[in-house]
Amino acid sequence: MSIPDLVGAGWREHAKDPAGVFDRMRRLVAEARAPGDVAPLAGLLTHVAGEHLGRFEEGLASLDALAARPACAAGSVEAKLVGRQKAALLFAAGRAADAEACLARSRSDAFPPASDRVRALAVAASALAGLRRTEEARDLFEEALSLAAYGPTASDPAAKALAITGNNLATELENRPVLDAAETALMLRAARAGLDFWRVAGTWLEEGRAEYRLSSSLRKAGDAAAALRHAARYLGIVEAHPDDASERFSAHEALARARLLGGDRTGARRDRDAAASALPAVEDASWREVLAQDLSALDASLGTPA
């Protein structure tokens, strides 16, 4: 199995066993021989060491080992990519001066000067959010958003980095049982930024899912009317593109939950039924089972027999 394939398996398994995946990826570094091995390994090493484990120094050591491989020649695109990943872990570790020095050595000439820094800060913010270091994550995310005032375009990786981080921050905060006012504000700020930047960097599918995320965050914040608006926008996006049963299910589920929050039980049941009608057409059996569990949870909220 190739290194990219092994890394792909690691991504599928890392949420359940981050330490085990991290150890396997570290051992794979010694086998990285082709330039195409570098980006997948660097990405997963950074994500797991930072966001899941908080083992910044070990992550940095692994990236240094990867940078020393022949596949990562000095001055190459691969070497600069590893340098940016190192900068992200350095920012997350609070070593801003070292991160800046790392970025200076890893400058990409293809994009505006702020792009590299935005990307590193965004990855660092996601890592700190995953570690529940919310205030630090907020500060780095706000710095990244401020730097992005130059307006990254679809071809600029900074736009996608901010879109992903916005989604990750919002999701992390939504999953907490209780939020204070500052956490709620950050959740909404992140979800809105995620939508803004997916509109730049993503497809209709990603934009639609960002509408779902913002609707969900607004529900968490108790704003039923705004949640309903964004769920309706999600459904509009889905209906304007080739039929996708999974997305149709999720759009109606979001609408049902927003209506329920606003007290419209009749409308909520109507959208619940529309979601249920889409479920059998979802082709991926494992994902269909996940959505079936979502439907059961919605039924419990509605008091609908399963």
Is 221 within the bounds of a domain?
yes
pLDDT by residue (tens digit) across 204-253?
Answer: 999 999 999 999 999 999 999 999 999 999 999 999 999 999 999 999 99
User: What's residue 284's pLDDT?
Assistant: 95
Token pair of 55 as six digits: 């083992």
Q: 179 burial class (0-12, 13-18, 19+ CB within 10 angstroms)?
A: middle
The CATH number of the domain holding residue 91 is: 1.25.40
Give the model's confidence band at 305: pLDDT under 50 very low, under 70 low, under 90 confident, else very high.
low
User: What's residue 1's pLDDT?
Assistant: 81
Is 234 within the bounds of a domain?
yes
Based on the fold, state whether residues 296 and 220 are members of the same structural domain: yes
Which is it for the CA torsion 63, 68, 69, 75, positive or negative? Answer: positive
Residues 6+ apart with CB under 8 A from 74: none
Give the model's confidence band at 74: pLDDT under 50 very low, under 70 low, under 90 confident, else very high.
confident
How many Å apart are CA 164 and CA 178, to the nearest integer? 23
Token pair of 152 as six digits: 């990254």
Using the predicted structure, report yes or no on whether residue 306 has a pLDDT greater than 60. Answer: no
Neighbours of 174 (CB within 10 A): 17
For residue 215, what are the domain limits?
A: 211-306
Give the model's confidence band at 143: pLDDT under 50 very low, under 70 low, under 90 confident, else very high.
very high
Is 151 within the bounds of a domain?
yes
CB 91, CB 140: distance < 8 Å? yes
Based on the fold, state whether residues 216 and 302 are members of the same structural domain: yes
pLDDT by residue (tens digit) across 2-21?
Answer: 999 999 999 999 999 999 99
How many Å apart are CA 278 and CA 248, to the nearest integer? 7
Distances (CA, A) of 260 to 65, 212, 222, 253, 271: 53, 16, 11, 10, 10
How many Å apart are CA 63 and CA 123, to the nearest integer? 15
